Amino acid sequence: MGSCLTTEQQPAVAVPSGKEREARTREEEVPGRIARNGVSNVACLFTRQGRKGTNQDAMVVWENFNGRADTVFCGVFDGHGPHGHIVARKVRDTLPSKLRDLIYDDYGESPISNSDVSLHEEALSPYAYAEDKSTLSGQKEEHHEFLCTMKDSFRKAFRVTDKELKLHHNIDSICSGSTAVTVIKQGQDLIVGNLGDSRAVLGTRDQKGRLVAHQLTVDLKPDHPREARRIKRCNGRVFAHQDEPDVARLWLPNCNSPGLAMARAFGDFSLKDFGLICVPEITYRQITEKDEFIVLATDGVWDVLTNQEVVDVVASSDRSFAAHSVVDIANQAWRIKFPTSKTDDCATICLFLEDTAGGLSGSSITSKGIRSSYREPDQLRKPMLRSKRVTPDDADEASDSDSGDERSLESFTRLNTLLALPKFGDTSPTNK
């Protein structure tokens, strides 16, 4: 299967077995599927290794998803821990097929695709559905039935993928894991599934015709009130390390490790009994003529660029190189804003929503020798860290429903997603 690394970046790996080689060959032969730097008819994708070691980001664009010409799947996955790159690539290769089988085999065609529904955007929350269920009738009831089925399919696919990771004998995911932000676009229907702190942002036009950023996901950090409540109920601990006072982390009950900078993830099974979950947050949006593109990226991009800056970069770049431009600008921003920190891996997918026939080709993009005409924005010369307020849907069925202490998540500057490895032999608490 196509690697997310350039030739010079790829680490030495064991020679795969015959069955593994056969599986990779089958994946490579899937029409419309790209899992490396490249462009397709509707999207472009690019990743670059940071300065922390192996590139742990993975990504995939799959056109003609489930054999449908109007459907595309996109996903970016950010691994962490000593085997995070293996976990991220395993999730990349497993999750789309699980979703395809569950969504289309169990449910079939979308009953609302290209139809006139009044709901423009909805968080697929069990609370929201329970409140509206009694008032639904006709097509809106069918609409909600489809959305709730999609929610269940996404959750089941994420859960099955996580279970397979745990049972995989050749992948050590005890202290390694991966985030995931995924999108299925079918006609005018958009379903977003998010796990962790990667992010999806929509570029859309406002009432004055200006291109603005609309955040489709929330960064699921350990100190978000809903996430923190769940973690504390499970005896996990949330606090920031003294060297990173602005980065809240998840810790074991009696040991100051591993220090995970997210509240939901695949893998990381040492923390699954202490508040970490693999339940994705699911949202729905009906695409309108004002919506132009979606950007999916790992936190290496969002830690240094605002949503609006990323949207402006994409809008100002050639479509074939838009993802490459975002990664370029993010790398520049890392050097300017955090000169003493190691640049994080960056992966970006730009999915264009309008008809782009002929606008993009199916060629690959290498990590060298390509530059767009985009010029560095003035904002990067004077670092500005700000974040847009986003209220998350609590995908954890057991979470409290009150929202009195809701607050937005700040753009964290972190040294590592996973601060240290668990020391299972030492369970005595240490000073922060």
3-state secondary structure of 131: helix
- Looking at the chain, the whole-number percentage of residues with pLDDT higher than 90 is 56
Looking at every residue in the chain, the average pLDDT score rounds to 77
Interior angle at CA 122, CA 119 and CA 127, nearest 5:
120
**CB-based contact 413:303 (threshold 8 Å):** yes
Cα–Cα distance, 58 to 5 (Å, whole number): 9
Task: Give yes or no for a cis peptide into 258 (omega within 30° of 0).
Answer: yes
Residue 204 inside a domain? The answer is yes
Cα–Cα distance, 119 to 144 (Å, whole number): 10
Residue 391 inside a domain? The answer is no
Provide the 10 A C-beta neighbour count for residue 240: 18
Q: Which domain holds residue 169?
A: 18-220+266-361
Q: What's the count of helices (H) and strands (E) in the chain, helices before strands?
A: 9, 18
Q: What pTM was estimated for this model as a whole?
A: 0.76
Residue 387 inside a domain? The answer is no
Residue 431 inside a domain? The answer is no
Cα–Cα distance, 274 to 265 (Å, whole number): 13
Cβ neighbours of residue 208 closer than 8 Å, sequence gap 6 or more: none
Residue 337 inside a domain? The answer is yes
pLDDT band at 18 (very low <50, low <70, confident <90, very high): low
Cα–Cα distance, 355 to 138 (Å, whole number): 31
Instruction: Measure CA of the first residue to CA of the last residue in the chain; give whole Å.
Output: 43
pLDDT band at 367 (very low <50, low <70, confident <90, very high): very low
Indicate which CATH number applies to the domain containing 132. Answer: 3.60.40.10
Domain count, the chain: 1
Cα–Cα distance, 388 to 328 (Å, whole number): 23
pLDDT, mean of residues 174-185: 95
Q: Which residue has the tokens 């030495």?
A: 12
pLDDT, mean of residues 178-191: 94
Residue 75 inside a domain? The answer is yes
Q: What is the pLDDT of residues 68-123, one digit of tens each?
A: 889 999 999 999 999 999 999 999 999 999 999 888 665 555 434 444 443 455 55
pLDDT band at 401 (very low <50, low <70, confident <90, very high): very low
The secondary structure element, H or E, covering residue 80 is strand 71-80
Residue 244: the pLDDT is 84
Residue 432 inside a domain? The answer is no
Which has the closest alpha carbon to 348: 58, 45, 57, 63? 45
Residue 91 inside a domain? The answer is yes
**CB-based contact 59:92 (threshold 8 Å):** yes
- Token pair for 44: 């472009």
